[in-house]
Amino acid sequence: MIACGALAGNVREIAARRGWLVEVQPLPALLHNRPHDIAREAERLAGRALDRGQRAVLAYADCGTYGALDEVCSRLGLARLGGLHCYDVLAGADNMAKLFEAEPGTYVLTDFLVRGFRRAVLAELGLDRYPELWPDYFRHYRRLVWLAQHREPSLEREAQRIAEMFGLPLAVIETGTARLEAELERLVAQAVGRGGPGQDPGRMTRSLAWAAGPARAAGATGPAGAGGGAR
């Protein structure tokens, strides 16, 4: 499972909890600032896995590759997470569309971005070196929305600090990781169903059946959705 670094922590936790026989291979989340490299790096890791007789799936949405990841998937017979970005995976594409429709100037955070805002956003945009560029990047935003996977006090404080930097109101939507989990389950099921060289699909399926318990449908366990949890 080749995973975006921004999701890899959640992916590992879910895979371990579900007892999936997967090896999570993270790629740096900062590749998002150079999306062309995502497809290239994902293809490299997937090719290596396939050469070893493993199956591979991509724990990536389109992630700004504008179809390049889909081309890789099509070429190598891989599956990826649905949606345009991890926001869609976490909160649901329809909910995200509604958020942006209601306010195009919505700046979206996830737990990863809250935790790593200084490194992943400020430093990458050069704002540590050129703070005067702040308005060039952010002047059109009107609100911040934190899609919270795990709403913890420390993250909440950090999200609030980020909102203060923007001087904008913060809304929190508790998405949890249920949608991500459902999407990962789909990827794993597809990989198992597809079979592959040097694999024992039966063993993996048995393991999944043992670990998964009753299947959980997307959203059934309670991501709040675009309206829920906002404040």
Partner 1 sequence: MTPQELLKQLYDDTLVGNGPAVLELTHTGLAMNLGPEALLYEALIPALEEVGARFERGDFFVPEMLIAGKAMAGALEVLRPLLAETGAESIGTVVMGTVKGDVHDIGKNLVNIMFEGAGFQVIDLGVQVAPEKFVDAVREHSPDIIGFSAFLTTTMPMFKANINALAKAGLRDQVIVMVGGAPVTQEYADVVGADGYAADASAAVVRAKELLQRRRRAALPA
Whole-number minimum distance, CB 83 to partner 1, in Å?
A: 11
Are 111 and 155 in contact by the 8 Å Cβ rule? The answer is yes
| Helix, strand, coil share (%) of the chain residues, nearest 5 | 55, 10, 35
Whole-number minimum distance, CB 219 to partner 1, in Å?
A: 22
Q: Is the dihedral of CA 62, 29, 140, 95 positive or negative?
A: positive
For residue 152, what are the contacts with CB-CB under 8 A and spacing of at least 6? none
If the CB atoms of residues 19 and 64 are measured against partner 1, the closer one turns out to be 64
Whole-number minimum distance, CB 66 to partner 1, in Å?
A: 5
Are 143 and 169 in contact by the 8 Å Cβ rule? The answer is yes
SS3 (DSSP) at 13: helix
If the CB atoms of residues 40 and 157 are measured against partner 1, the closer one turns out to be 40
Whole-number minimum distance, CB 178 to partner 1, in Å?
A: 25
If the CB atoms of residues 76 and 84 are measured against partner 1, the closer one turns out to be 84
Rounded Cα gap, residues 124 and 30, in angstroms: 8
Whole-number minimum distance, CB 38 to partner 1, in Å?
A: 13
Rounded Cα gap, residues 119 and 63, in angstroms: 19
Whole-number minimum distance, CB 85 to partner 1, in Å?
A: 10
User: Which residues of the chain form contacts with partner 1 (CB under 8 A)?
Assistant: 35, 64, 66, 84, 97, 100, 104-105, 125-127, 129-130, 132-133, 136-137, 140-141
Rounded Cα gap, residues 64 and 81, in angstroms: 13
If the CB atoms of residues 30 and 212 are measured against partner 1, the closer one turns out to be 30
If the CB atoms of residues 97 and 209 are measured against partner 1, the closer one turns out to be 97
If the CB atoms of residues 21 and 125 are measured against partner 1, the closer one turns out to be 125
Are 144 and 166 in contact by the 8 Å Cβ rule? The answer is yes
If the CB atoms of residues 136 and 152 are measured against partner 1, the closer one turns out to be 136
Q: 1-35 burial by CB neighbour count: b if 16+ within 10 A, else e? A: bbbbbbbbbbbeebbeebebbbebbbbbbebbeee
Whole-number minimum distance, CB 90 to partner 1, in Å?
A: 18
